[in-house]
């Protein structure tokens, strides 16, 4: 399925003159803006290029030992329609064999597969690692979600071949692994973390103020990978409130000094609690992130929250040193994708926070172009 997606939405043109002036500015600066706000991911293994491909459907094709040497070859990313399979709709499988010898030691690794049209199930070395959209009979497209999955390091075979197998179902029009980055990546912003909270957090949809408290029965909470949208983890189309909880203890080397909690980017609004007490929300960030915030003209109808980088100073008196600390994050997602969807997520020292802020200063909304962009347009940052 393919629909033309507009990346720019005109909210309310103030006047024709304003609009044309602003449009010109947008053309001049939108490209760099677009890049600057993307995640700073670095490639470990390039997976674009030739993949083995077959239309059809057989679960045996997820098996790493399956012999796909008789299969066709297709260029990834790219629609299969553009590569000889015009008009084909339905199931198809992609397979790619690769080796990996430069795995980072403690940094989460992400598999990026760009956009897959329409729905897919992804296997690494025979193990199902992700599913986006829904396969028939309860078909549901996920063609506009960029696939990004955290892969636990132990899933990789460090000494030999690894096989990714992707089962794709396309309903109609464009099909396949159609565009976007394809490879294994890590997030360079994770280097600013002294304590990395990437991983599985406890998760519950709905809203209950009591969930901020340290003593909550988490029996009926599920596990959700952070950072990643909840839509990519089974909560298709969920909008509204949801809570995340995560427990940590500080190591010896962090027993003194100011510490900051980084929660990356959250879609849309977050309220953050440590050991039962509120330490911040996204609106605390607004003043020093938006150059023109105090201008009443620009405070209406804004859509900046999902794109703001969350870093909250941790009040020393609320932190247990030593002992177990509990973070609870109440998230409200207005519509579209939701959740703690982009890193870095973890603890930063004052110094690393400063380095992190400096690195992203020009991409977090504190300049005139961002003011223009954020006031008059909504835009994709992916």
Partner 1 sequence: MKRTINKNLARILGTISLFLILSHTAKCNYPNPEDLHLLKNLNGNWHFSIGLNNDWIQPKFDDSKWETIEVPGPWEDQGFNGYNGYAFYRKNIDIPLSWKDRDLYLNMGYIDDVDEVYLNGHKIGSTGSFPPNYSTAYDAERIYYIPVEYINFDGSNLIAVKVYDSYESGGIVSGDIGLYSGKTAIGLDINLQSLWKFQPGDDMRRKEIQFDDENWAEIFVPAKWEDQGFRDYDGYAWYRKTFNCQLPENEKLVLVLGKIDDIDQVFINGVVVGSTGNFPSNGSDDASTGAEFNAFRGYYIPDGVIKKGQNIIAVRILDTGGSGGIYEGPVGLITQGKYIEYWRNIKKAKN
Site for partner 1, rule CB under 8 A: 3-6, 8-10, 54-58, 72, 83-91, 136-137, 139, 144, 171-173, 267, 303, 306, 335-337, 341, 378, 380-382
Residue placing its CB nearer to partner 1 in the complex, 139 or 368: 139
**Minimum distance from residue 82 beta carbon to partner 1 (Å):** 11
Decide if 320 contacts 229 (C-beta within 8 A): no
Report the SS3 class of residue 247: strand
Decide if 302 contacts 373 (C-beta within 8 A): no
**Minimum distance from residue 273 beta carbon to partner 1 (Å):** 24
**Minimum distance from residue 177 beta carbon to partner 1 (Å):** 17
Terminal C-alpha separation, the chain: 20
Decide if 229 contacts 267 (C-beta within 8 A): yes
Other beta carbons within 10 angstroms of residue 119's beta carbon come to: 22
**Minimum distance from residue 90 beta carbon to partner 1 (Å):** 5
Residue placing its CB nearer to partner 1 in the complex, 84 or 206: 84
Residue placing its CB nearer to partner 1 in the complex, 57 or 191: 57
**Minimum distance from residue 52 beta carbon to partner 1 (Å):** 13
Residue placing its CB nearer to partner 1 in the complex, 45 or 142: 142
b/e code 56-91 from CB counts within 10 Å (16+ = b)? eeeeebbebebebeebeebebbbbbbeeebeeebeb
Residue partners of 93: CB distance under 8 A and separation at least 6: 53, 54, 56, 57, 58, 61, 165, 166, 167, 168
**Minimum distance from residue 148 beta carbon to partner 1 (Å):** 13
**Minimum distance from residue 76 beta carbon to partner 1 (Å):** 16
* 278 burial via Cβ count (<10 Å: 0-12, 13-18, 19+): middle
Residue placing its CB nearer to partner 1 in the complex, 90 or 152: 90
Residue placing its CB nearer to partner 1 in the complex, 55 or 213: 55
Q: What is the DSSP string of 16-36?
A: HHHHHHHHHHHHHHHHHHHHH
Decide if 112 contacts 41 (C-beta within 8 A): yes
Residue placing its CB nearer to partner 1 in the complex, 241 or 341: 341
Closest to 193 in 3D by CA, of 288, 98, 261: 261
**Minimum distance from residue 301 beta carbon to partner 1 (Å):** 12
Other beta carbons within 10 angstroms of residue 237's beta carbon come to: 10
Residue partners of 202: CB distance under 8 A and separation at least 6: 218, 221, 222, 223, 224, 244, 245, 246
Closest to 325 in 3D by CA, of 273, 382, 257: 273
Residue placing its CB nearer to partner 1 in the complex, 88 or 248: 88
Residue placing its CB nearer to partner 1 in the complex, 260 or 341: 341
Residue placing its CB nearer to partner 1 in the complex, 174 or 187: 174
**Minimum distance from residue 337 beta carbon to partner 1 (Å):** 5
29: left (phi > 0), else alpha (psi -120 to 50), else beta?
Answer: alpha
**Minimum distance from residue 377 beta carbon to partner 1 (Å):** 10
């Amino acid at each position: 399925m393919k629909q033309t997606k507009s990346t720019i939405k005109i909210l309310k043109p103030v006047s024709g003159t304003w609009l044309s002036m602003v449009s010109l500015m947008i053309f001049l600066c939108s490209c760099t803006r677009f890049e600057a706000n993307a995640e700073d991911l670095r490639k470990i293994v390039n997976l674009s290029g030739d993949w083995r491909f077959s239309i059809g459907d057989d679960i045996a094709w997820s098996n790493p030992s399956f012999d796909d040497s008789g299969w066709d070859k297709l260029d990834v990313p790219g629609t299969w329609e553009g590569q000889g399979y015009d008009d084909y709709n339905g199931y198809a499988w992609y397979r790619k064999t690769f080796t990996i010898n430069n795995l980072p030691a403690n940094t989460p690794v992400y598999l990026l597969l760009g956009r897959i049209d329409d729905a897919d199930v992804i296997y690494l070395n025979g193990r199902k690692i992700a599913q986006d959209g829904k396969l028939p009979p309860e078909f549901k497209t996920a063609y506009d979600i960029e696939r990004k999955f955290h892969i636990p390091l132990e899933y990789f075979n460090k000494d030999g071949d690894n096989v990714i197998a992707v089962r794709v179902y396309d309903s109609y029009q464009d099909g396949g692994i159609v565009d976007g980055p394809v490879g294994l990546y890590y997030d360079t912003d994770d280097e600013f973390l002294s304590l990395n909270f990437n991983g599985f957090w406890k998760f519950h949809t709905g809203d209950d103020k009591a969930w901020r408290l340290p003593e909550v029965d988490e029996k009926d909470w599920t596990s959700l990978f952070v950072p990643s949208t909840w839509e990519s983890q089974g909560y298709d189309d969920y909008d509204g409130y949801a809570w995340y909880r995560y427990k940590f203890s500080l190591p010896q080397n962090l027993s003194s000094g100011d510490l900051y909690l980084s929660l990356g980017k959250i879609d849309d609004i977050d309220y953050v609690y440590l050991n039962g007490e509120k330490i911040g929300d996204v609106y605390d960030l607004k003043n020093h992130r938006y150059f023109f915030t105090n201008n009443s003209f620009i405070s209406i109808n804004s859509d900046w929250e999902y794109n703001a980088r969350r870093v909250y100073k941790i009040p020393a008196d609320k932190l247990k040193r030593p002992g177990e600390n509990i973070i609870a994050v109440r998230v409200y997602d207005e519509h579209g994708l939701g959740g703690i969807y982009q890193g870095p997520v973890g603890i930063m020292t004052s110094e690393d926070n400063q380095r992190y802020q400096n690195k992203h200063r020009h991409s977090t909304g504190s300049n005139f172009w961002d003011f223009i962009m954020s006031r008059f347009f909504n835009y994709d940052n992916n």
